Structure 1
Amino acid sequence: MDHIDRASVDLDALFRPERVAVIGASDAEGRPTTLNWRRVAGWAERVGAEAVPVHPRRAVVDGRTAYRSIEDVPGQVDVAIVLIGDVDSVLPGIAAKGVGFVVLFAAGYAETGPDGERRQAELVRSLRAAGVRALGPNTNMNLFEEFRTDLPGRPIALITQSGHQGRPVFQGQELGIRFSHWAPTGNEADLNAAHFVDYFAHEDDTGAIALYLEGFADGTAFRRAARAAARRGVPLVAVKVGRTELGRSWAMSHTGHLAGADDVASAVMRQYGIARVDGLDELLDTAALFARAGDPPHAGVCVYAISGGTSAHMADLLGAAGIDLPELSAETVTALRQWIPDYLRVSNPVDNGGHPVGDWRGRRILETILADPAVGILVVPITGAFPPMSDTLVADLVAVAETTDKPICVVWGSPSGTEDAYRRVLLGSQLPVFRTFGNCVAAIRALADHLDFRERAHELPVVPDPPPALAGPGRQLTELDAKRLLAAHGVPVSRDALCAGADEAARAIDDQGGPVVVKAVVDGLAHKSEHGLVRLGIADAAEGRAVVADFERIVADLPGRELAGVLVSEQVHGGVEMVVGIAPDPVFGPTVMLGVGGVAVEVYRDVSFRVPPFDRPEVHRMIDELTGSALLTGFRGAPPVDLEPLVDVVMAVQQLAADGVVTELDINPLIVLPDRVVAVDALASIPDPHENAGAVA
């Protein structure tokens, strides 16, 4: 797949064409092609385009002149929409006509298996050769929906790899939520989600981009598009299916086993500020909040309700989500006491007891809360309709919202949702409105993260071209060679001596002068400790000789293995065991992992991932994501560590990944001491020149 290039993929002609030809258009009632033709014809009229029917046996369709082939259509055709199943029969005419874009409704391609994949690849090759860009195949006609133009505010642009999964999101129009575009990308044989993210991010009025993703056609292009959106301040919200961990046939290290495909996808979304949500309802609600929130000053939240129980419940959920609920100023509290009795809490949450919302006091309370500098977002949970007070409260909320740049999030908890205050007033406003506490909290959490991310979005480094694709897992290095490679690239490693047998091991132990670690060297055996081939605290030469004799007996019982030597290593005392590694990802390329290490790393799975390139502050965020990060800050009286040497190692490992020096790496453990770090064990694979001689980027 090509990478994002806005000059070569001008999607304006797809969304704003002058002439659209519909191949297979029909006016026979009850036929799907008739429904789709009329949908396109209606859309074309709304956007000021001409829709032309193409049918080999009809001269007229719905009163319009029909043409036997697309080549017979007079003038330039910007978009050809193919409704028939025999796509191959019309491709030569599309190519000859010089059409810019083709929309392929037909299924039966890559989604069906290897033969379909072959047909799809041939389809794209023939279209590309003629300069035609394709949407689909196996796509729906959602691009040609009726987009309401009577709704105010900044719109959501929708991208879905499944048209049906976008339907409940797009129907947010019925709730007053504005949409500008819907790109149903289908199989993404050519145009993919990344092209549309890039295009929508450069539309001046886009409030948010909502995505339903099943995979990534081009990881590099997606990252470039996400970076462009981030730098333009356009929020992305995504549902990404496929959370189950996929096996990794190349994995020989902890890193490879831990880096399931979904872990890497989640890391990329965090790295580029994409809010990942689980449900389609969350996708709509979170995108709508982004589109309507504007540019709040900060994410400090105040909860305002008529009930102490409601206030406590919402505050509890917000607090559990890590959302800041700041104390209101003394001046604000004093002002609120004019209208709210002393026995009710007003410091945040604010509980008014109910009655003040029914008269002039309600608006004064709202204005006072929003004037407090500590408040960036106001959350008003209304657990059920209670007219006439709820009607007055809603009217005040809508009126006050027009006077402030701070978003007012309303939760309308009535199960019926038929009340005029909800249907006519709230949904007719530009307030972010939710039906559940959970969706409101999740959306605010996403908004808070976005406000934090936007401060550093301009620092996102340029995404380079991907490294050459590898034909195999590479050649595995010995531990000693892996450490030598790391040391050459700036990673501190333990002092090691490779010994041929017991006599050399005994001398090496004496030379190091103290307890050491003795390890067997066995070609192709990654995790030696699982076989009893790592011994700690070996104090003298005699004990070392005994250990070597044990190793010889153990290895003799391992089929096809030979003891190639013994490694006598410095034993590092104290510190925190961490793991740093590189795992290959088929979509996003070499991926860097940081986590809490040791023999149980795969049990606890306390790890964080990033895809190069990234900067030092991003490594600090990786550390903060770890539950075990508390171990580095002085847990239970232990001295805190200097994090910068650890960051140095992650940055060095990132460079190894970016340069393609290492295909897979596992430094475990990396001992983090108060003032330094030491890699005491490492596994690494490097590109095999024989296997990868024919690899291409």
Structure 2
Amino acid sequence: MDSSHADYPVEWEADVVLRDGSTMHVRPIRAEDADALQRFHTGQSERSTYMRFFAPIARLTDRELRRLVEVDHRDRVALVAVRPGQDEDGGEREDILGVARFDVIGDGEAEVAFNISDALQGKGLASVLLEHVAVAARERGVRRFTAEVLPQNGSMLGVFRDAGYEISQHLDDGFVSVGIDLDPTEKSRAVMADREHRTEARSMAGLLSARRVLLVGPGSDDGTPEALLARRVLDAHAEDPGDTELLVLDPPGDVPEAVTRLDGWAQVTGVDLAVLAVAPGDALTAVRRLHGTGARGVVVLSGGYAESGPDGLERRRELVRAAHSGGMRVVGPVSYGLLTTTPGNALRASLAERAPHPGVIGLFCQSAAAAVTLTATLERRGLGVSSLVSAGHRADVSGNDLMQYWQDDDATQVVCLYLESIGNPRKFSRIARRLSASKPVVVTTAGRSGHVVPPGHAVRATRAPRRLLDELLRQSGVIQADNTHQLMDVAQVLAHQPLPSGNRVGILASSAALAALVAEAAASAGLEVAASSDYLPPHAHETDIARTVDALYAPGACDAVVAVDVPVVQPRTGAIARAVAEAAARSGRTTVASMLGLHGMPDELAATGPDGGETRIPAFSTPEDAVVALGKVVEHAERREAPRGHHVEPDGVDPRRARRLVESWLADGSGRELTVPEAAELLDCYGIRLWAARRVRTADEAVAAADQVGWPVALKSASPGLRHRSDLGGVRLDIADAEDLREDVARLTAVATAVLGDDAPEFEVQAMAPAGVACVVRSAEDPLFGPMVSFGLAGDAVDLLDDVAHGIPPLTDVDVAAMISTVRAAPRLYGYGGTPPADVDALEDVLARVAVMADDLPELAALELYPVVVAEHGASVLHADVRLRPAGRRADTLRRALPG
């Protein structure tokens, strides 16, 4: 950033990934970019120049250059895509490879133009710049782009058409006039998500397909942490090189025969991946020297970055910037490394002494300590993985990136994530929701609330409720495990058993008492115990075993089986295990087991199916573990088949008007509470009608207000401490005449004086709404989670019991319905106790509109609609509190960007 630009919008700077997996930096243009822009212009082909300027301009004049690079970042905005280059003397410089700009031409409208380097046309840079310049435009109040394009410029017209926005175009005097509505649509969100998925997946494929790996060591075996790390990589490669060719520069002592030792950086060419076991200063030097070597990523094993304080955090950021500028991604710092088990391309770039067995589980974790624990667990259980990635302190590569890759990876059928922190929850939710529709995603978090940030993890602070992370994971469609033990329990079922077709479970136990206990555990896990359940005593004959097992696995008898064999005195014979394994392989019925002495994926519970393939039944230490794992898998199967819905798009929404209002109210740069008329005006932009209320102090004013709004009326204390407290006498309802109203004013004055010490209180007079169930709808803007929406029924008991549902916009219609139906007090809305059912559709509409509003307006610091009275027909919003503040930068905007 150039500090000479006081209003330089640093929030528009970002590193991006192109279609080929390479990276590039996008930032606002600066006045000192004139020379770079001239080089870019003169390097373009005559055709590209003509398509941009409609004339064969060989060189820009000084006046034209000044006009193009000197912008105000408000009415005239330009973004450039840059990469590091070298001048004629070998010095460093930045080269411009693409430009996108807009000039405001009217209220909410701007003219947009693009110019992309010949070498990068067709690689997705234009679509990336369109996403970024559209976000910048929306932040400046622009809601529509216009452009004039030559008819023969099909590639640019294609970029506009493929963006997913609402567009119009017509031929006008030899030009194609294009209009682009920048308000996000279901299609534009899907287009951006799909492009983001493809580019990030390709970026990860570049790392995980590496064959030629360079290890950069500290140069001496002096017992430093870096020397120990480098020595471990060398020893691990000697033990199990996989299909990886390992080169080493500055090793700590001797190297194994299988490793190629290089004498200096001049010999470093044609590498795919670099592993760094050096101090932070040397790591930055190494990353810069890796530019142009072919490396697509660096794995940083050592520490000394954000965990050491602000200076370390800046070192980390500088390292990431240097890597991105050279087209590389960063794994780490403090990473355990990368492993894959792909036959013929088994990557070994980690500290693991032994690689896990090949399998179908994609495993992601952060700290090296977690990787050690998980790999040991995999080995003990006999579970295999397709790939394992440890992101360490997650400076760049994160679980989001790996989920993008695993979605298309045929070798990965189950995704397991152990997360110590989540840096971008909204993006996580969006990607996980998409992935879990095709592959199960199992997640455990080190901190269940998201409030704990481990040292070295640069994560925004959060003010979100502690339950919000659980709600986020539920909304994402993932399977949430309580700990790493349960993570592996669920994974071994998903990796080796088919998904169950229902929730009816057949139980086979070694005693009637044990069968009853397993049945109780199954009911607690949301499973229905099938009538075919039975028990077999330890001395059962093989014919009895065969008959009982066949009945349990008979067609239609149940959807899944839990087999428990725990003899008390006699040793376990293995007959039940064999019979169950053969029946499971024969029938394809989902089966889990808890049998004395068996754990993980034992050979004793393996059998060959009719197709010749092997089926293995996962074994658990306790029956309860088996049932809990099965219950989570059944829940996942049911959720996967359920409709996911569509993003809510209520009619009558005017975000442009809302944007103008918010900008006018925040013109002085400070936050503020909205007045009641202002709140009503803002809510009206989203089709939410706020019932009018009159503020009064005296009985005469109250009667006059009632005459205006219409009898009967409600009288409420305007004090926050009494506003909704009918139990304290702060509310009087259904007042039909002036005499009663005067008496109620006197009573409320006495209450306010007694409770609050206020002898001159204010009141609100409001027309009576139809009777119904009082609810509360809230939203808040959180630095980490972004917009949050919550719903609950009104009342102290609900607040004290935290009976509130939360959601992270954008929400689908299914999300909105679930938020309302899953609170424990929800039966009151559906005719509880013989009362008429409330109009839940109208309530869903209010909640959907608030969700859209919260998503549109990051300035909406807090909103409370309380009460929302839901009657038999309709929902009435009787009061609103709205607080605005200048918007911060959200972690997940509608643009592709790497962590910076």
Q: Distance in 1 between matches of 2:736 and 2:634?
A: 55
- Work out which of the residue numbers 321, 329, 342 in structure 2 matches 1:125: 321
**Aligned amino acid, residue 608 of structure 1:** A
- Which one is further off, 265-274 or 474-483? 474-483
Shift of the 577–674 alpha-carbon distance from structure 1 to 2, 3 Å rule, reads same
Aligned to 1:430: 616
Per-residue CA deviation, residues 85-116 of structure 1 (Å, 9 max, x unaligned), is: 24233232123534210001121222333332
Equivalent residue for 1:337?
none
The equivalent of 2:413 in structure 1 is: 207
Q: Distance in 2 between matches of 1:172 and 1:63?
A: 27
2:579 — aligned with what?
396
Gap change, CA 1:489 and 1:502, over 3 Å in 2: farther
Distance 1:82 1:235, change over 3 A: same
1:612 aligns with 2:842: no
Cα distance, 1:487–1:593 mapped onto 2, change above 3 Å: same
Moved more, 35-44 or 167-176: 35-44
What is the Cα deviation at residue 191 of structure 1? 0.8
Quick check: 1:37 aligned with 2:242?
no
Match in the other structure for 2:199? 7
Asked if the contact 2:288–2:326 (Cα under 8 Å) also holds between the matched residues in 1, the reply is no
Identify if the C-alpha distance between structure 1 residues 494 and 34 changes in structure 2 by more than 3 Å, giving closer, same or farther: closer
Alignment-mate amino acid for residue 681 of structure 1: H
CA RMSD of aligned residues (A): 4.0
Change (3 A) 1:65 1:573: closer
Identity of aligned residues (%): 24
2:533 equivalent in structure 1:
349
| TM-fit CA distance, 1:642 | 3.5
Quote how far apart the aligned CAs of 1:627 are: 1.0
> Structure 2 stretches of 5 or more lacking a match?
1-13, 17-192, 340-349, 453-461, 608-614, 650-657, 894-900
The letter of the residue matching 2:584 is A
Q: What is the DSSP-based 3-state SS (H/G/I as helix, E as strand, rest coil) of the residue aligned with 2:290? A: helix
For residue 226 of structure 1, give the secondary structure of its aligned residue in structure 2: helix
Deviation at 1:651, TM superposition (A): 1.4
Question: In 1, distance between residues paired with 2:830 and 2:670?
Answer: 37
1:226 aligns with 2:438: no
State the Cα deviation string for residues 415-438 of structure 1 (Å, max 9, x = none): xx379x995513896112211233
Using the TM superposition, give the Cα deviation of residue 18 of structure 1 relative to its aligned residue in structure 2, in angstroms.
Answer: 2.3
Question: Does residue 240 of structure 2 align to residue 54 of structure 1?
Answer: no
1:367-425 deviation digits (Å, cap 9, x = unpaired): 3322232511111122347666541001112222211221111012x3xx379x99551
Q: 1:541 aligns with which of 729, 738, 754?
A: 738
Which residue pairs with 2:274 in the alignment? 80
More displaced stretch, 535-544 vs 403-412: 535-544
The letter for the 2-side match of 1:602 is D
User: Does structure 1 residue 650 correspond to structure 2 residue 847?
Assistant: yes
Letter in 1 for 2:481: V
How many angstroms apart in 2 are the aligned matches of 1:695 and 1:434?
A: 43
Give the equivalent residue in structure 2 for 1:448: 634
Checking the alignment, whether the CA contact within 8 Å between 1:301 and 1:379 is kept in structure 2 is yes
Q: Which has the higher contact order (CA 8 A, sep 6+)?
A: 1
- Bigger mean CA offset, 52-61 vs 273-282: 52-61
Match among 89, 101, 104 for residue 297 of structure 2: 101
Name the counterpart of 1:671: 869
**1:558 deviation in Å?**
12
Structure 1 position 179 matched with structure 2 position 385: yes
What is the distance in 2 between the residues matched to 1:634 and 1:39?
69
Q: 1:54 Cα deviation (Å)?
A: 0.8
8 Å Cα contact 2:492-2:618 kept in structure 1: yes
**TM-aligned CA distance change 1:128 to 1:589, over 3 Å:** same
Aligned to 2:261: 66
Show CA shifts across 1:472-513 (max 9, x none). 994322345434543553335445334576533211224556
Instruction: Indicate the residue corresponding to 1:333 in structure 2.
Output: none
Cα distance between partner residues in 2 of 1:695 and 1:439? 40
Aligned mates of 1:514, 1:365 — CA distance in 2: 74
With normalisation by structure 2, the TM-score equals 0.65
- Aligned mates of 1:397, 1:615 — CA distance in 2: 42
**1:173-215 CA-partner distances (Å, limit 9, x unpaired):** 3322111211111111111110011112221132311111122
Residue 62 of structure 2: aligned partner: none
Once the 2 structures are TM-superposed, how far is the Cα of residue 616 of structure 1 from its aligned partner? Answer: 2.1
**Change beyond 3 A, Cα 1:300–1:43:** farther
Match of 1:157 among 358, 362, 365: 362
Closer/same/farther in 2, CA of residues 13 and 43 from structure 1, 3 Å limit: farther
Shift in alpha-carbon separation, 1:116–1:393, aligned structure 2, 3 A: same
Give TM-score scaled by structure 1 length. Answer: 0.82
Greater mean deviation of Cα atoms: 601-610 or 20-29: 20-29
Matches within 5 A, 1:93-492: 93-141=289-337, 143=339, 144=350, 145=352, 155-170=360-375, 171-231=377-437, 233-244=438-449, 260-326=464-530, 347-356=531-540, 358-384=541-567, 390-412=573-595, 414=596, 417=597, 424-426=603-605, 430-456=616-642, 459=645, 474-479=671-676, 481-491=678-688
Say if 2:216 is the partner of 1:23.
yes
Question: How far is the alpha carbon of 1:236 from its aligned partner?
Answer: 0.9
Q: Does 1:578 align with 2:757?
A: no
Q: Which runs of 5+ in 1 are unaligned?
A: 248-257, 327-346
Q: Which residue of 2 aligns with 1:330?
A: none
1:99 is paired with a residue of what secondary structure?
Answer: coil
* C-alpha displacement of 1:675: 2.6
Does the aligned pair in 2 maintain the 1:409–1:433 contact within 8 Å? yes
Distance 2:822 2:708 in 1: 41
Instruction: Show CA shifts across 1:40-73 (max 9, x none).
Output: 5258731x2210011078686657442244x333
Q: Taking structure 1 as reference, are residues 136 and 354 closer, same or farther at Cα in structure 2, changes over 3 Å only?
A: same
Q: 2-side partners of 1:573 and 1:599: how far apart?
A: 22
* Letter paired with 1:446: K
1: CA distance between counterparts of 2:420 and 2:790? 24
1:320 Cα deviation from its structure 2 partner: 1.8
Letter matched to residue 279 of structure 2: G
Contact 1:195 1:225 survives alignment (8 Å): no
The verdict on how the C-alpha distance between 1:29 and 1:498 changes in structure 2, with shifts beyond 3 A counting, is closer
Aligned residues: 649
Render the CA deviation track for 1:259-313: whole Å, top value 9, x for unaligned. Answer: 7354222122111211111121101001111122223322321112131111110
**Separation (CA, whole Å) in 1 of partners of 2:447 and 2:676:** 35
The answer to whether the Cα contact below 8 Å between 1:25 and 1:37 also exists between their aligned partners in 2 is no
CA distance in 1, matches of 2:745, 2:521: 58
* Aligned counterparts of 2:276 and 2:536: Cα–Cα separation in 1: 60
The structural deviation recorded for 1:451 is: 0.9
Counterpart residue identity of residue 389, structure 2: A
CA distance in 1, matches of 2:510, 2:889: 70
Q: Is the 8 A contact 2:415 2:439 kept in 1?
A: yes
1:536: Cα distance to partner?
1.7
